[in-house]
Amino acid sequence: MITRLTPAQQRRQALRQILPKDFGGVLGILITAIIVGVALFAPLIAPYGIKEGSRRDAKLPPAWYEGGSTAHLLGTDVQGWDIYSRILHGARVSVTVGVFGVLLASIIGLTLGTLAAYFGGWVDMLVNAFVNVMLSIPYLVLVIVVATVFGRSLVNVILIFGITDSPVFIRLVRGEVLRLREQEFIQAAESLGAQTGRILGLHIMPNLIGILITLATFEMSAMIFYEAGLSFLGLSVPPDIPSWGNMVSAGRRFLITGGNSWIAVYPGLAIALTALGVNLLGDWLRDVFDPRSK
């Protein structure tokens, strides 16, 4: 027997199906939302500007250390700048690089992947050659080397990640398009005379989008990770822009004495927390879009 649900019940049921049932999913959404929120509103929440303070206040410890004060919750760096405020601002670099880098990589991936799958022949060969060669160089080395050739700017960093990460997307899209083309519903549409554009937009794209979003989430967390790594080596955004990697790197000079560890510790914690949140979000999305993986 089919019981009819009222629209309100239907909505509630739909919502219940989308919302995560596990703790990890909730945590992932929560952390990711907080970090995006911080990135958007950093100037409003941060108690200090990114370059506010003088060297007289340099290397103040966090509030709960001896000699620390609540004026600088997580202490100050060598310039006397407030670490807590700079961490909040640092979310902007990470989120911008993550979002736009993944966006660029997915656009390249969708275009080249579909082209390769549909045209086959030498187009497919060229695209495949590009993908295989790029993937054969260890990613970190590839990014580091490309970054040395490009100058240090936010736009360049987005370009670097968008281009170097695109092979993963190309490979996924190509494989999925090839697989979908063999399915009955696409062949039915083709035999009904549907044009390629219509098939791609109406039949293939909707079936591709879930797995693409899942990959994009994982790649975003990877990009945030790698951006921090590039910053750490001084190859990402200029040193005066607060990025988490730049901030961790600023604490390197204290490694020998082992003092002032907070300068490096808390910005690194921000990277770890972001990676945790976005990864959990990705795990949950994978379960949502691909129930088999559970």
Binding interface with another protein (CB under 8 A):
129, 132-134, 136-142, 144-146, 148-150, 225, 228-229, 232-235, 248, 251-252, 255-258, 261, 264-265, 268, 271-273, 275-276, 279
Q: Minimal distance in Å, beta carbon 78 to another protein?
A: 16
Q: Is residue 204 a contact partner of residue 143, using CB atoms and an 8 Å limit? A: no
Q: Minimal distance in Å, beta carbon 48 to another protein?
A: 23
Distance CA 133, CA 131 (A): 6
Q: Is 258 exposed, middle or buried (CB count within 10 Å of its CB: 0-12, 13-18, 19+)?
A: exposed
Q: Minimal distance in Å, beta carbon 175 to another protein?
A: 18
Nearest to 263 by CA among 93, 82, 43, 39: 82
Q: Minimal distance in Å, beta carbon 264 to another protein?
A: 5
Between 96 and 231, whose beta carbon lies closer to another protein? 231
Between 157 and 271, whose beta carbon lies closer to another protein? 271
Between 33 and 209, whose beta carbon lies closer to another protein? 33
Alpha helices for 120-204 (secondary structure H): 121-136, 139-149, 154-181, 184-191, 196-198
Between 122 and 193, whose beta carbon lies closer to another protein? 122
In sequence order, what E strands does the chain have?
none
Helix (H) or strand (E) holding 17: helix 7-18
Between 121 and 138, whose beta carbon lies closer to another protein? 138
Between 14 and 155, whose beta carbon lies closer to another protein? 155
Between 211 and 233, whose beta carbon lies closer to another protein? 233
Question: CB within 8 A of 218, min separation 6: which ones?
Answer: 278, 279, 282
Q: Minimal distance in Å, beta carbon 276 to another protein?
A: 4
- ∠88-94-95 over CA atoms, to 5°? 90
- ∠51-53-54 over CA atoms, to 5°? 115
Exposed e or buried b per residue across 191-217, where buried means at least 16 C-beta atoms within 10 angstroms of its C-beta = eeeeeeeebbeebbeeebeebbbbbbb
Q: Minimal distance in Å, beta carbon 4 to another protein?
A: 39
Q: Minimal distance in Å, beta carbon 199 to another protein?
A: 32
